[in-house]
Structure 1
Amino acid sequence: MSKKVSLVEINVFEKMIPLVSGYLESYASSRPEIKTNFDFNKYSSNVAIPEQQILRELIEQDSDIYAFSCYLWNTDLVRRLLPALRKEKPNSHYLLGGPQVMHQAHEHLSPEFENTLICNGEGERTFANFLGELLNTTPKFSNVKGLSFYGDGELVTTKPQERITELDKIPSPYLNGIFDDEYLMTVMETNRGCPFHCSFCFWGAATNDRVYKFSEERVRKEINWLSNKNVPFIFIADANWGMLKRDIEFSAHIAKCKKKNAAPVFVYFSAAKNSPQRVSEITEIFTESGLLNAQPISMQSLDKKSLEYVDRKNIRLSAYEELQDDLNERGISSFIELMFPLPGETLSSFKKGIESLFELRASVLVIYPHLLLLNTPLYEQRKQHKLITREVTDGSSEAALIVGTADISEEEFEEGMWFVFTILALFNTRTIHRLSYYLHTKGLERFSDLYTKFIEFCKQKEDNAFTKFCAESIRDGAYYDFTNYPYVYHLVLHQKRYEFDSLLYDFVSNQDWWADANARLLFEFDLLSKTFIYSNTDVMKPWAQFEFIDVISASDRNYTVEIPTDCLGMLDLDEKLKAKLDTDKPLFRLRLNSKGPQFTFRENQTRKANADYCYGSIMRISDFLPRMEIVDS
C-alpha cells in the first residue's frame, strides 16, 4: 500500500505555483522505488486563509508524511499548526525545510516528537533519501545526510548534503505534468547560488558562492510553458538577474512569449549588483514589451563603513550617474533599493546618503526595513553589532525587525523611519521637488534639513492624517507589511490630498526662506504639478490665494494657469515649449495636463490591490507627471 505525502506551501500570494513542492516531487519520483510506493499531494495555501481552515484541510488529507516549506512569512503559523496536526495524526512523519528552520533544530524539535525532523540545506536529495529510508521496516534517519532529529532522547544532526551541481538532474515540474491547476503567479529559477557575501542575505551564505545553472534549453521550454498556461506574474528568483549574458537572451524570450500569448504580464527580478549596463538592456527589453515599469538599482547603503560591515561593494556613484543619464535618455524609469538600518550606519550617514542621491537626481527610493534573517553571517554577528530586534506579530510571520544597532539607538531609528515616510510622501511623489532643489542648490536649506524640519512640524500636528499614519506605523511596526509604504501614496495623492497640501503650506510659509520670492513661486508651481495617481481624484483650486500663479480652471486632472512671463526663467519648462511663448506679453497661459495611465479608485478594492497599484504607479512616476501645454489666452 502506497504512503501518502503532503507537500505543504503557505505563501503570501494567492494561486501561486508551489515550485518547491514541484521540485521535491519531481526529484523524488525520478527514483522508481519512490514513484511506486508514494502518492504525492501538493497543498498550496496563503497566510490570509484562516488557520483552522488550513488545519482542517491538512487533517483531511490523511497523509503519512507532511513536508512543510518554512519561510519567515509563515513559520509562526507552522509552529501552531504542527502540534494540532500531530495530535490528530500522531503516527505520521513531519519534515520541516526552508531557510527559517534549517540549522535551527533547537528551536523547532523536542525529544518527545521523534517523528518530526528538519532538513538542513538544499532539499531535493535529502527529501528523496528521507522517503527512501521510510520504506525500511525500521528507518535509520542517521543514514540520511542533511537532517536533524531526535533519537533516543539525543539531538542528531547528520553530515551536510552536497549541493546538486547539475541542476537538470531535477526533472522540471513545469514540463512533466506535475502542475495541472490554474495559477496567477510563479517563482522561476534559471540558476542557484550567489557569488556575493552580503552578510544580511541568505543567498551567498547558503550556497557558498558557487552558481550552478539549469540548461538554456530547459529554461526556454519552461518560459514557453508558463506563457502558454497564461501565468500572468513571474518572479525570477535568481540572486543576480543580468549577471550572465544569457539572462539577456532569456529576457528577450520572455518578451517574445508575451507578444505571442499576452502572458506573462509582469516580471520582477533581483538585479545583478555590478552589471548595470546589462541590467539596463534587460530593463529596456521588458519595458518595451510592457513587462516592467522600472529598473531596480540595488545599493542598500551609501556609507562606506556600513558596506564594509556587511561585506558589500556598490557601483561607484560616478558610474551610477552615467547609468541614470543613460536610463533617462532611453526613457526608462528606475528605483534605488536601500535598507535601514544596516550595521555601521548612523542616522547622520543615512541622511547624508539620501542627500547624495537627491543631488544625483535619483528617480525613486525604495527603503526596505532590515529583517534579521536566520542562517546569515549577520545573524551570527548580532551581538558584535549590538543588534536590537522587534518581533513581527501578524499571526503568521516569524520575522525580526532590526530597530537598533551599535551605531544607531532605538530613538534614532524611529527618527530615521520618520525620514523614510517623508521620502515616500515628498521625494517619491515629486511633491515640492523644484522647491527642494532650489533651496539646496542655493544654500538656503539643505535637503536633509528641510525634511527633518518638516518631520518636526508634522509631529506637532497630531491630528493630521499623514502624521497619525506615520506615528502608528512606526509604533506598531506596521511597515513590515508590504501594503504599508504604498498606502502613503494613496493617502497624500488621493484620500487626504488637500489636507496634506494644507499641511505643506503651513510648514513652508513659516520658514525663514519663505521671504525668497523664487521659493514662493516654485512652491505654487510644485503644488499644481503634483501627481494624480487615480483618474477620479477630486481636482480643486488651491485653498489659498496664490501670489504668482492664477488658476483659471481646474477639472479632471488638469489645471489651466496664468503665469507672469518674467517668472519663466525659474520654471523647468521644455525649451521647445518656451520657444512657442510670446515673451513680449506680460502673462502666458499653461495647461498642466495630468491625464494619463491612471486607474479609477474603487471603494470595494482591497487595501492590497490599492497598494500594488500605487506601488507600481510610483515606480514609473514619470508617466504620471503632468504634460505642460501652451494655451492661447
Structure 2
Amino acid sequence: MLRIALVQQSAWDLPVDSMPLAAGYLKAVLDADPGIGPEVDVRIHNMRGGWPVNQMTRAIFSEEVPDVLAFSVVGWNYRNFSLLADVHKQLKPDGFTVFGGNHVSHQAKKVFRECPDVDIVVNGEGELTFRELVTAILANRHTPDFTDVAGLSFRLSGDEYFTTPDRARIDDLDIIPSPFLTGAIPLLDRSGRFPYEFALLETNRGCPYRCSFCYWGGATGQRVRSFSRDRLAAELDLFGYHQVPTVFLCDANFGMLEADEEFTEDLLKIHEKYGFPVSLEANWAKNKSQRFHRIVRTLKQYGFKSSFTLALQTLSDEALTDMRRRNMKLNQWQDLAEWLAAEGMESFVELIWGSPGETVETFLDGYDRIAEKVPRIAVYPLLLLPNTDYSEKRELHGFVTVRGESDDFEYVLASRSSTLAENFAMQRFMFLARILGENQYFKRLWHPARLLAGMTQSQVIYSLMEWIDASEHPSAVAFRGMFPVLAESPAVAAGHRMLYSDPELDAEIERWWNEQVVPRFPAAWAEFGPHLYRFERLSRPVYQPPGGSVPDGWRLVEGGDTYAGQGLATFPFDVIAAYERLAAGVLTPPEPASTAYEFRSRSGFYLHLDNHETGAHYFATATPLAPNPSLDDAVGAHQPCGKAG
C-alpha cells in the first residue's frame, strides 16, 4: 500500500478550518481510479494558518510516514512546506515530496535551489498530472520514470532537473471526480456539524483577462471551461442537505456566463428545498452585464446575503494602462454602485496600492472619489507574484521589493512612481483603511463625516491615525503598537480583533469622534453626532470568543443562533431615518423624536471576523418602534453592550 499525504494550509490564523479543495480534488482522482485506488491510502492534512511547523510536523508524521508527501503551495506556506519536506526526507529518504500550485508552477529552478528536499514540481493543473505521477511510482517505487508524465519538473541530482512538456488544459472538467460527491472532502465533523469557514466551489476554470498583477489568466489558461450543470446541482444539493450556510465560488468572473444564471437558478431551488445555503460570495465578473444585474435581482428576491465586488484596483489612467486593464468597462462603476445601492445590495471596491504609474496623490484622490459612492473599500498592497507581467518586467517598473520573513511573497516597497518613504507611510493608512472600511468597523460614519464635517474618507482615517499617535491612553498605545510595517492580512486581523475585544479602545475612538469630527458638524446637527456613534457601536456584530460569556447587554435566543439586546435602546432621534436621508444627500437636520430600537445579531461572528466578506453577514439589525416623544428615558438604560454614547 502506497501511503500518500496531501497537505494544505490556510492563509490566516482562523479559529475555523478552511476547506481543502485542492487536496480534495487530488484524493478524489486517485480514489476513483480502479488501477490506483486499491493500491493507495490517501489522507488529507488540513492545516490552519497559525499552526507552526512543529505542530504540522506532529500532525503529518506522528502516526506513519507517508511515501508521497504532496503540498498545495501558495506564497504564505512555501517556507513552512520546505521545512516539512526536510523532515520528510530525514524520515523517508526514499520517499517523494511534491510541490504543486500557482506559486511554484513553472518555478522549478527557484524551488529546487531553495528547497533541496523537494523532488517534483507540478506545472499547471495538477489532477491528471498527479494521477500519472502516482502511477509511475506504483510501477517502480525505487526508480520511477517520470519522463512521460506531462506537466512536471523533477530533480535529477543537486540543482539539475528535467521538465516534461506542458499538459493541455482539461477540457471536460467533469472527468475530475467531485471531492464532495465522492466523500473525499467530508462535509460534517464528528459532532455532525459543517466544520469549515464556508464551502469552496468551482463552477468553471480560466480567466479571459491577463492583468499584470495577477497570475489567474496566465496560470489557468484564458479560455473558460465549465463543470456541467448536473454535477454542480448535485453538489449544491449535498450542501443544502448538510446545511452549509455559505458557498464561496472560486471562479474568476462569476456572472459572466449564461451558465452562471443556471447555477443561480439551481442554488435557489436548493435553498427552497432545504433552507440552505443562505449566502453566496464570489469573485464577480469585472464587466457587469445585464446577466449580472439579473443574478443580483434574483439573489435579492430570495433574501440571499452577498457582497458584490467592484474590482477597480485604481482610477489612475496611467496605472490602468500598465495593469493591462484598459479593456474593461471600469468607467461604469459609478452607475453600477448607484444601481446596487438602489437595489439594497451591499457592494465593496477593491483597490491596490503601489502599482507603477500610481502616486500617493492619485491614489488618495481615487480612493475618496470612490468612497463618495461606496465607502466600503478593500485596499491591498501590491505583491509581485510568479508568472505575472509585473514580475517579468520588474526593471521596467523600477520595483524595489522585499520577501516576507515567514512567506514567499515579494512586497513592493517602491516603484518608478512611489518612493520607499511613501510606501511605508501608506502601509499605516492601509492598516486603518482595511479595518475601518473593508471590515466596516465604521459603517454609518462615513457619509456624515463627509457631508456634515466636510471630511473626505481618507481625511477621516488620517485624523484618527493622528489621534491614536498622540494619545497616551494605554489602550491607544497598545493599538498603536499593532500598526505593522507592511499591512498584511494577519496584522489587519489582529488589529481588528483588538478593537472588538477592548471596550476602552472603542471608547477612545468614540472620544475622537465626538471631539474631532462632531464639532465640525453644522450647529443644527451637533446634538445628533454623538448618538450616531452610539448607534454604530450597537449595530456591530457581537464578539464572543469560544468559552467566553455573552457580552454585557446581550442575551442568546432562538436556540443560541441569535443575540438580542437586553431591553430596548432609546435615542432622542430616529437615527435610521436621519441617516438614510443624509446618505441620500438630504441635509435637513432631524427633528427630535424619541425612538426605541431592538437590536439583534446572528451568532458566530468570532469565527468569521478575519474575512470581511462573510463577516459582513453578522452585523446587527435594528428594528425601530414608532417614534414616540413620550417614551420613558429609563428604557434607554437597558442597552446592548451596556455602553452609553
TM-score normalised according to structure 2 size: 0.79
Q: Could you say if the C-alpha distance between residues 401 and 591 of structure 1 is closer, same or farther in structure 2, counting changes exceeding 3 Å?
A: farther
Is 1:151 the counterpart of 2:156 in the alignment? Answer: yes
Q: Could you say if the C-alpha distance between residues 406 and 520 of structure 1 is closer, same or farther in structure 2, counting changes exceeding 3 Å?
A: farther
Q: How far did 1:317 drift? A: 6.6
Which residue of the partner structure matches residue 397 of structure 2? 385
Which residue of the partner structure matches residue 544 of structure 1? none
Q: 1:55-454, aligned counterparts within 5 Å?
A: 55-59=57-61, 60-109=63-112, 116-137=119-140, 138-153=143-158, 154-180=160-186, 182=188, 183-185=194-196, 186-275=199-288, 277-313=290-326, 319-359=332-372, 361-393=373-405, 395=406, 397-423=407-433, 424-425=435-436, 428-431=442-445, 433-440=447-454, 448-449=458-459, 451-454=461-464
Which residue of the partner structure matches residue 9 of structure 2? 10
Q: 1:426-505, aligned counterparts within 5 Å?
A: 428-431=442-445, 433-440=447-454, 448-449=458-459, 451-461=461-471, 463=473, 465=475, 468-469=478-479, 472-475=482-485, 477=487, 479-481=489-491, 483-484=493-494, 486-487=496-497, 490=500, 496-505=505-514
CA contact (8 A) 1:113 1:150 kept: no
Which residue of the partner structure matches residue 38 of structure 1? 40
How far apart, CA to CA, are the structure 2 residues paired with 1:229 and 1:619?
A: 20
SS in 2 for 1:598: strand
CA contact (8 A) 1:364 1:619 kept: no
How far apart, CA to CA, are the structure 2 residues paired with 1:625 and 1:421?
A: 29
SS in 2 for 1:238: coil
Q: How far did 1:161 drift? A: 1.4
AA aligned to 1:87 is Q
How far apart, CA to CA, are the structure 2 residues paired with 1:125 and 1:465?
A: 54
Per-residue CA deviation, residues 77-100 of structure 1 (Å, 9 max, x unaligned), is 211111111101111111111112
Deviates more, 1:471-480 or 1:306-315: 471-480
CA contact (8 A) 2:351 2:377 kept: yes
Q: How far did 1:521 drift? A: 5.7
AA aligned to 2:5 is S
Q: Could you say if the C-alpha distance between residues 488 and 430 of structure 1 is closer, same or farther in structure 2, counting changes exceeding 3 Å?
A: farther
Q: Could you say if the C-alpha distance between residues 80 and 498 of structure 1 is closer, same or farther in structure 2, counting changes exceeding 3 Å?
A: same
Per-residue CA deviation, residues 494-534 of structure 1 (Å, 9 max, x unaligned), is 55332112123333488xx67x6357466456445534215
Is 1:632 the counterpart of 2:629 in the alignment? Answer: yes
CA contact (8 A) 1:297 1:337 kept: yes
Q: Could you say if the C-alpha distance between residues 558 and 116 of structure 1 is closer, same or farther in structure 2, counting changes exceeding 3 Å?
A: same
Q: Could you say if the C-alpha distance between residues 303 and 463 of structure 1 is closer, same or farther in structure 2, counting changes exceeding 3 Å?
A: farther
Q: How far did 1:308 drift? A: 1.2
Q: How far did 1:192 drift? A: 0.7
SS in 2 for 1:597: strand
**Tell me, which stretches of 5 or more residues in structure 2 are unaligned?**
189-193, 543-549, 554-564, 631-645
How far apart, CA to CA, are the structure 2 residues paired with 1:391 and 1:136?
A: 40
Count of equivalent residues: 589
Q: How far did 1:348 drift? A: 0.5
Q: How far did 1:210 drift? A: 0.9
Q: Could you say if the C-alpha distance between residues 615 and 496 of structure 1 is closer, same or farther in structure 2, counting changes exceeding 3 Å?
A: farther
CA contact (8 A) 1:434 1:522 kept: no
Per-residue CA deviation, residues 155-209 of structure 1 (Å, 9 max, x unaligned), is 2222211111121222223333434462533321111100011111121111231
How far apart, CA to CA, are the structure 1 residues paired with 2:618 and 2:387?
A: 35
Deviates more, 1:64-73 or 1:398-407: 398-407
Q: Could you say if the C-alpha distance between residues 570 and 236 of structure 1 is closer, same or farther in structure 2, counting changes exceeding 3 Å?
A: closer
CA contact (8 A) 1:429 1:489 kept: no
Q: How far did 1:125 drift? A: 2.2
How far apart, CA to CA, are the structure 1 residues paired with 2:115 and 2:263?
A: 50
Which residue of the partner structure matches residue 536 of structure 2? 530
Which residue of the partner structure matches residue 549 of structure 1? none
CA contact (8 A) 1:437 1:447 kept: no
SS in 2 for 1:475: coil
TM-score normalised according to structure 1 size: 0.81
How far apart, CA to CA, are the structure 2 residues paired with 1:155 and 1:192?
A: 29
Q: Could you say if the C-alpha distance between residues 468 and 628 of structure 1 is closer, same or farther in structure 2, counting changes exceeding 3 Å?
A: farther
How far apart, CA to CA, are the structure 1 residues paired with 2:238 and 2:368?
A: 45
How far apart, CA to CA, are the structure 2 residues paired with 1:299 and 1:559?
A: 40
How far apart, CA to CA, are the structure 1 residues paired with 2:65 and 2:573?
A: 73
CA RMSD of aligned residues (A): 3.9
AA aligned to 1:367 is V
AA aligned to 2:154 is F
Is 1:560 the counterpart of 2:565 in the alignment? Answer: no
AA aligned to 1:141 is F
> Greater Rg, structure 1 or structure 2?
1
How far apart, CA to CA, are the structure 1 residues paired with 2:44 and 2:86?
A: 21
AA aligned to 2:172 is E
Per-residue CA deviation, residues 91-148 of structure 1 (Å, 9 max, x unaligned), is 1111111112222223332599687111111112221221222244442222222221
CA contact (8 A) 2:153 2:161 kept: yes
AA aligned to 1:402 is V
CA contact (8 A) 1:277 1:323 kept: no
**Tell me, which stretches of 5 or more residues in structure 1 are unaligned?**
540-553
Q: Could you say if the C-alpha distance between residues 206 and 573 of structure 1 is closer, same or farther in structure 2, counting changes exceeding 3 Å?
A: closer
Per-residue CA deviation, residues 228-282 of structure 1 (Å, 9 max, x unaligned), is 2333432211111111122122123223223322333433211111025433433
AA aligned to 2:99 is L
How far apart, CA to CA, are the structure 1 residues paired with 2:403 and 2:411?
A: 6
How far apart, CA to CA, are the structure 2 residues paired with 1:466 and 1:626?
A: 33
How far apart, CA to CA, are the structure 2 residues paired with 1:314 and 1:500?
A: 42
CA contact (8 A) 1:387 1:404 kept: yes
AA aligned to 1:202 is Y
AA aligned to 2:29 is Y
How far apart, CA to CA, are the structure 2 residues paired with 1:199 and 1:6?
A: 35
How far apart, CA to CA, are the structure 2 residues paired with 1:200 and 1:570?
A: 38
How far apart, CA to CA, are the structure 1 residues paired with 2:351 and 2:322?
A: 15
SS in 1 for 2:448: helix
AA aligned to 1:47 is G
How far apart, CA to CA, are the structure 1 residues paired with 2:4 and 2:566?
A: 61
How far apart, CA to CA, are the structure 2 residues paired with 1:111 and 1:569?
A: 56
How far apart, CA to CA, are the structure 1 residues paired with 2:18 and 2:166?
A: 30
Q: Could you say if the C-alpha distance between residues 280 and 44 of structure 1 is closer, same or farther in structure 2, counting changes exceeding 3 Å?
A: same
Q: Could you say if the C-alpha distance between residues 526 and 112 of structure 1 is closer, same or farther in structure 2, counting changes exceeding 3 Å?
A: closer
